[in-house]
Amino acid sequence: MKKQYNVLIVGAGNIGAFFDTKSSKNILTHANAFYRTEGFNLLGFVDVSENKGKRAATLWDVKYFPTLEDAFNTNEIDVVSVCVPDDYHYYILKKVSNFPIKLVFAEKPLAKNLDQASEIIRIYGEKSIRCLVNYSRRFVNEFNILRENILEGQYGNFVCGNGYYGKGILHNGSHLIDLLRYLIGEIKGFKVLGHSFDFYEDDPSVSAILDFENGGNFIMQNVPCSNYTIFELELLFQHRRIKIVDSGFKIEEYTILDSKVFKGYKNLSKEKEYETELNKAMLNSVRSIYNNLSNDEELKCTLEDGYKDMSVCEGLKMEI
């Protein structure tokens, strides 16, 4: 029998509890991922709203705890998922560090500013608390294969790219920043092109040109979320064109062929199109938590990764 770890979810919102149910095909919530993964025992939810907390507890057949103290006074808890709104990430991450826990699974962004993020990194380092930050596309096999192919040089050097997002540079744009860092490499500089406050008063959606240490640049463009939701990007390499569409649920790959019309010219031609398992990213992230706790497997998105993503986002905001 597998070793069992007790789990508490702080924040009974959509990502914590309500985006899916036990019978859903897609695994979109922390609750469902822990429910589906052998080796975890979901104890319940903490939420400041008794109504939401009890609804989540009923949905997942667990307990509702009004406070963290109530949960820890009566249970031995190994893993805490932090699923509260962005403004409360720092407060909850700091508060749960006062309890005897092994690992925190934190929704992005890590905090609201770099000072808060630095303090969390310091505290967690001093207390030897592990933390996985949920930049979900790192936990999708198809993106991991893309990364390996890029690192192995199968597509040649990265040339340029472009992408679209909305709903805040920190809240959603950091997903784009993290995926670019994961696939292409570290960002060495940027130039802001424009911005809009399309959802949060303190988190603008920024358009910018990003320059990479490994060469090449990327234009990220904000599309106000009041129009529609979009998360897409296109990456052009010497020998390949990669399009990531439908929020990352689908990938298109283009290869180079000689033109059938113009002698001596080469064109890009779609070679394949395939769906990803983005709908299982949450499940894969929870499985990686189990492997980290039981076998010391390396975490795919650390506090340091979350800090680097925030550094780029904060830099972009400062240039507005």
Is pLDDT of 102 > 80?
Answer: yes
Residue 10 lies in a domain: yes
150 and 271 belong to one structural domain:
yes
pLDDT band at residue 30 using 50, 70 and 90 as cut-offs: very high
Q: What is the mean pLDDT of residues 291-298?
A: 97
Query: How many separate domains does the chain show?
Result: 2
pLDDT at 7: 98
Burial bucket for residue 208 (CB in 10 Å: 0-12, 13-18, 19+): buried
* CATH (domain of 55): 3.40.50.720
Q: What is the DSSP letter of 248?
A: G
List the one residue out of 120, 85, 123, 82 whose CA is nearest residue 104: 82
Asked whether 310 and 109 are in contact (CB, 8 A), the reply is yes
Residues 61-92: pLDDT tens digits? 999 999 999 999 999 999 999 999 999 999 99
Per-residue model confidence as pLDDT tens digits over 168-206 = 999 999 999 999 999 999 999 999 999 999 999 999 999
Neighbours of 221 (CB within 10 A): 16
Does 72 reside within a domain?
yes
Place of tokens 């499985």: 287
Do 9 and 28 have their domain in common? yes
> pTM for the whole thing?
0.96
The pair of three-digit structure tokens given for residue 241, joined into one six-digit string: 């064109």
DSSP 180-220: HHHHT--EEEEEEEEEE-SS-SS--EEEEEEEETTS-EEEE
Q: Which domain holds residue 93?
A: 5-136+281-302
In the predicted structure, residue 1 carries a pLDDT above the cut 80 = no
Q: Give the pLDDT confidence score for residue 2 in this predicted structure.
A: 81
pLDDT of residue 147: 98
